[in-house]
Chains A and B, each alone.
Chain A
Amino acid sequence: MSETAPSAEVPAIRLRQLVKSFGDTNAVDGVDLDIRQGEFFSMLGPSGSGKTTVLRLIAGFELPTSGTIELEGKDVSGKAPFERDVNTVFQDYALFPHMSLVDNVAYGLRVRGMAKAERRERAVEALERVQLGKFVSRRPAQLSGGQRQRVALARALVVEPKVLLLDEPLGALDLKLRQQMQIELKELQRSLGITFIFVTHDQEEALTMSDRIGVFNNGRIAQTGSAHEIYQRPQSEFVANFVGTSNIFGSELAQDIYGRREQFVVRPERLALAWDAVSGSPAGDGGAALRGTVTSAVYVGHATQLHVALDAGPAVVVLSGGELPPADQLIGRQVTVGWAGHDAVWLPDAA
C-alpha cells in the first residue's frame, strides 16, 4: 500500500517497557511487544487486562506514563493521534451522525486537503469494497449494526494507514454476522497486506483470525505466539484457563504419575474415556489412566461434555464425540480417564 517498502525486519509496531497508570493502578504494566509488518495480531484478554489501553496508546488517544511506542522504527510516543499513521475502527464505530456515508468515509481525505471530486470518488470506491455502494447518501442512523461496522472499516482504510487498529469491532454483532465478518476481515487483511491489531476478549475469534496472539493479563502480556502455540502449549495456568477449557492437574498428582512436581494441563478433547472401569488404560506411551465418576453430562451438539470427578484428585472435563446414552444413565458411572504422554502440557511457572 505505501510507496516506501520498509525492510521486513523493522516491526510495524514496537512497544518497549510501556506503562500507563490511571491514579494508583497500572492499566498497562511494562509491555514489550513487536508486531510484524503485515501481520494479523490479536490482543486477547479479559476485560480490564489492559489490551484496549495498549491499543489506545498506539493510536495516541492516551499518552504513556513511561516506555516507548515505535511505528516502523520511528518513536511516536508523544505524538498526537493526527500525527500517527495508524487508524482505528472503534467499538461503537464512532460514525459522524450528521454526515452521509460518503462524507463519513471521505472525512479523512477531506482533512488532508484532497479535492472534493477525488475524495468522493475514493470514498465511493471504499464503500463499494465493503458492499455498501448503494447507500452512499444515507446517514449512519439508517444502517444496521453490521453495515455501520463496514462503514467504520471503509473510513479507516480509505486513508491507507500502515497499521489498522480494531477495538472489539465485532462485539455488538450477532453470532452469524460475527462469523461472517471474521472471515471478511481476515480476507481483507490478507489482500491489503496492512498490519491489523485486533483487540478481543473472545478467544475463539482470536484463534480463528490471527497470525499471532498476545494474551493479556493484569496489564502484562502472559504469552505471545501463534494460535496453535497458544492453544497447544500454554505457558501458564492463566493462559491455559483463559484460552479454551483446560484440565489442570496439580503437582502432587504429577509427582505420583510422572515423578515431577509441576502442574500440567490436558485439553478436554485429548482425554479419552473408557467405560469399563475395571481395568485397562486407553492411554498410549507415557500416558496415564485415572479412575473417576461421571458427575454430569452436557450435550453441546457436536459432542458431549462429561464432568468426571477423579478418585485421585481434580474434577475434569472430557469431550466425547461418540454417541452416548442419555445423561441420566451416565451420571454416577465409574469410568477411566486417560491421555497420551504428549498431550500433557507442563506449566513451567506453576507454583
Chain B
Amino acid sequence: MQLRQPGTGPGTQKAPGSGGGGTTARAAVPRARKNSLSALLDRSPRLRLAGLLTAPAAWLGIVYVAALAALLITALWTVDSFTGKVSQTWTLDNILQALTDPVYQAIALRTLWIALAVTVIDAVLALPIAFFIAKVATARWQKLLVVAVLMPLWASYLVKAYAWRNVLAEGGLLEWLGTPLGLSSPGYSETAVIITLAYIWLPYMILPIHAGFEKVPDSLLEASSDLGAKPWTTMRLVVFPILVPSIIAGTIFTFSLSLGDYITAQIVGGTTQVLGTVVYANVGAANNLPFAAAVSLIPIVIIMVYLFAVRRTGALNNL
C-alpha cells in the first residue's frame, strides 16, 4: 500500500533510542484509517453473514445438492434398449433390481464387509500410532511423524494402488517374505482389496484420533495412575471414552471412502466386484446410466444411516 498518513514516512521516523535531539517531538502515532464499508459491515451482522456465505452456499446448492438430485432423478429413468439413449420414462425398476437381484445383494454385502474390515483394521492400527505421536514422542518427533503420516497423501492414489499390486503379485514382495514362514500371498482378491484400502485410508483415521489424543491433558493420565489405575485400565476407563468421538470421526472417513472405491478393487481385486465397479461398468461399458445411479444410491443410504446412528456421540463435531 502506498498510502501514508502525513508524518509517518520513513523520513520523519526516528530510530528508537537513537539518542541526541531528545527535545524534537516525535511524530504522533497515526490514527486508524476510516473505511465506510468496514464500518457498515461492523454494524450489521446480517450483511456480514451474507457476504461470508453467499458464494459457498451457492456452490453447495448448485454443485452439490443439484448433482445429487440429478442422480436421484436419473435413477428413476430408463435406457431405451434400441437406441441406447436415456429415455425419461419414470420407473422404479432400476432401484428394485439393484435391491432385489441376488447378484447385487451379494455385491452390496461384500462392499459393506470390505468397508467394515478396512475401518476396523485402520482403527486398530491408528490407535497406538496416534497415541505414540501425541503422548510419547518428543515435540520434534511429533512434527516429523505427523508429516510422515501425511506424506502418503501426497502420492497419487493410483501409484499407491499399483505399488500394492506389485507387492501382492505372484513372485512379489509378500510372497517372497511369506514363503519361508509358510504363508502365501493373498494374490489379487477381496483380501488384497481390504489390505490396500486399509493402507490408503490409514492417514484419515490417524489424524482425527491424534487430534483427539491431543485434547486429553497429560494430567488426566497422571491422575488416573495416581489413583491406582494401571496403564491398561487408564486406557479403558479414561482415554478410550474420551476418544470415542474422534475414533468415530475417523471411521466415517475410512468407511465412506472404502464404500465408494472402485479403482483399488479393479487394480488388486482380481475378479472382485464391489458397488463401485458395478457403477463404473454401467456408466461405461453397459451404458446404463439410470441403473448406475440406482446402485450408487446404496452406499449413500448406508452412509446416511451410519451418520444418523453416530450423530449423538458428538463425532460429527470432530470431523
Name A residues whose Cβ lies closer than 8 Å to a Cβ of B: 59-61, 80-82, 86-88, 90-92, 94-98, 107-108, 110-112, 155-156, 159
Q: How far apart are B216's CB and chain A's nearest CB, in angstroms?
A: 9
Q: Provide 6 A-B residue pairs closer than 8 Å at the C-beta atoms, listed in order of the A residue.
A: A81-B226, A90-B223, A94-B217, A111-B237, A159-B227, A159-B228
Known A82-B228, A111-B228; contact A88-B233, beta-carbon cutoff 8 A:
no
**Of B219, B220, B228, B241, most A-chain CB atoms within 10 Å:** B228
CA distance A95 to B222 in the complex (A): 11
Most buried by B among A90, A155, A156: A90
Residues B242 and A94 in contact, CB atoms below 8 Å apart: no
Q: Which residue of B lies closest to A96 (CB)?
A: B238
* Shortest Cβ distance from residue A260 to the other chain B in the assembled complex, whole angstroms: 44
Instruction: Let me know if B227 and A90 touch, CB within 8 A.
Output: no
**Chain B hits for A59, CB < 8 A:** 222, 226
0/1 per residue, B217-249, Cβ < 8 Å to A?
Answer: 101101111111110010001100110000000
- 15 new A-B contacts, CB < 8 A, other than A94-B219, A107-B237, are A59-B222, A59-B226, A60-B226, A61-B222, A61-B226, A88-B223, A88-B226, A90-B222, A91-B219, A92-B219, A110-B237, A111-B228, A111-B230, A156-B227, A159-B228
Nearest CB on B from A80, distance (A): 7
**Contact residues on B (Cβ < 8 Å of other chain), bracket:** 10 to 19
If the complex has contacts A107-B237, A111-B237, are A94 and B220 also in contact, measured as CB distance less than 8 A? yes
**Shortest distance between the CB of B318 and any CB in chain A (Å):** 14
A94–B223 contact, CB under 8 A? Answer: yes
Q: Whole-angstrom distance from the CB of A290 to the nearest CB of chain B?
A: 37
Complex-state Cα separation, A112 to B227, whole angstroms: 9
Chain B residues near A88: list those with CB within 8 A. 222-223, 226
Q: Which chain B residue lies CB-closest to A90?
A: B219
Cα–Cα distance between A59 and B227 once the two chains are bound (Å): 10
Question: B174-194 interface mask toward A, CB cutoff 8 Å, 1 = contact, 0 = none?
Answer: 000000000000000000000
Given that A97-B242, A98-B241 are known contacts, is A111 also in contact with B227, CB under 8 Å in the complex? yes
A184 to chain B, nearest CB (A): 21
Taking the nearest CB of chain B, how far is it from the CB of A82, in angstroms?
A: 5
> A82 near B237 (CB under 8 angstroms)?
no
B222 near A81 (CB under 8 angstroms)?
Answer: yes
Q: Which residues of B contact A82 (CB under 8 A)?
A: 225-230
Return chain A residues, CB-CB under 8 Å to B227.
82, 87, 107-108, 111, 155-156, 159
Least Cβ–Cβ distance between A199 and chain B, in angstroms: 14
Query: B residues within 8 A CB of A86?
Result: 226
Interface residues of B in 128-147 (CB under 8 A from A): none
Tell me, in angstroms, the Cα distance from A285 to B224 when the chains sit together: 60
Given the complex, which residues of A lie within 8 Å of B242, measured CB to CB? 97-98
Could you tell me the distance between the alpha carbons of A97 and B314 in the complex, rounded to whole angstroms?
14
Name the A residues within 8 Å of B228 (CB-CB).
82, 108, 111-112, 159
Which A-B residue pairs are the 3 nearest by beta carbons? Answer: A108-B227, A94-B223, A94-B219
Write the nearest CB–CB distance from A87 to chain B, whole angstroms: 6
Main secondary structure of the interface of B (DSSP, over half): helix
Q: Which residues of B contact A61 (CB under 8 A)?
A: 222, 225-226
Asked whether A94 lies within 8 Å of B225 as measured between CB atoms, the reply is no
Task: Please name all residues of chain B whose beta carbon is closer than 8 Å to the beta carbon of A90 when the two chains form the complex.
Answer: 219, 222-223
Instruction: Say whether, besides A92-B219, A94-B217, A111-B233, A80 and B238 are in contact (CB < 8 Å).
Output: no
Choose among A96, A110, A112 the residue with the greatest number of B CB atoms under 10 Å from its CB: A96
Chain A's nearest CB lies how many Å from the CB of B87?
56
For A108, the chain B residues whose CB sits under 8 A away are 227-228
Q: Smallest Cβ distance from A89 to chain B, in angstroms?
A: 9
Q: Look across to chain A and name the residue whose beta carbon is closest to the beta carbon of B222.
A: A61
CB pair A81 B219 closer than 8 Å: no
A155 / chain B contacts, CB cutoff of 8 Å = 227
Task: For B226, list chain A residues within 8 Å (CB).
Answer: 59-61, 81-82, 86-88, 156
Q: Which residue of A lies closest to B216 (CB)?
A: A97
Most chain A CB neighbours (cut-off 10 Å) among B224, B227, B230, B233 = B227
Complex interface: chain A residues within 8 A of B233 (CB):
111
Residue pair A111, B229 in contact (C-beta under 8 Å) = yes
* Cα distance, A90 to B219, chains bound together (Å): 7
Cβ distance B156 to chain A, nearest Cβ, rounded Å: 41
CA distance A94 to B225 in the complex (A): 12
A59 nearest CB neighbor, chain B only: B226
> B123 CB to closest chain A CB, in angstroms?
19
Q: B224 to chain A: which residues have CB within 8 Å?
A: 96, 107, 111
A95 contacts across to B, CB distance below 8 A: 223
A59 CA / B226 CA spacing, docked (Å) = 7
Chain B residue numbers with a CB within 8 Å of A87 are 226-227
B94 CB, min distance to chain A CBs, angstroms: 46
CA of A60 to CA of B225, assembled, Å: 9
| Chain B residue contacts of A156, Cβ below 8 A | 226-227
A residues near B222, Cβ cutoff 8 Å:
59, 61, 81, 88, 90, 94
Give A96 to B227 CA distance when docked, in angstroms. 12
Which residues from chain B contact A159 at a C-beta distance below 8 Å? 227-228
> With the chains together, A107 CA to B222 CA distance in Å?
13
- Evaluate contact between A96 and B230: CB separation under 8 angstroms: no
The reply to whether A81 and B225 contact each other, CB–CB distance below 8 Å, is yes
CA distance A73 to B241 in the complex (A): 38
A110→B229 CA distance, assembly (Å): 9
Is the Cβ of B225 less than 8 Å from the Cβ of A92?
no
Specify which chain B residues have a CB less than 8 angstroms from the CB of A92 in the assembled complex. Answer: 217, 219
Task: Give chain B residues whose Cβ lies under 8 Å from the Cβ of A107.
Answer: 224, 227, 229, 237
B237 proximity list for chain A (CB < 8 A): 107, 110-111
Q: How far is the CA of A110 from the CA of B228 in the complex (A)?
A: 9
Cα–Cα distance between A336 and B241 once the two chains are bound (Å): 69
A136 to chain B, nearest CB (A): 18
A1 to chain B, nearest CB (A): 16
Chain A proximity of B228: nearest CB distance (Å): 5
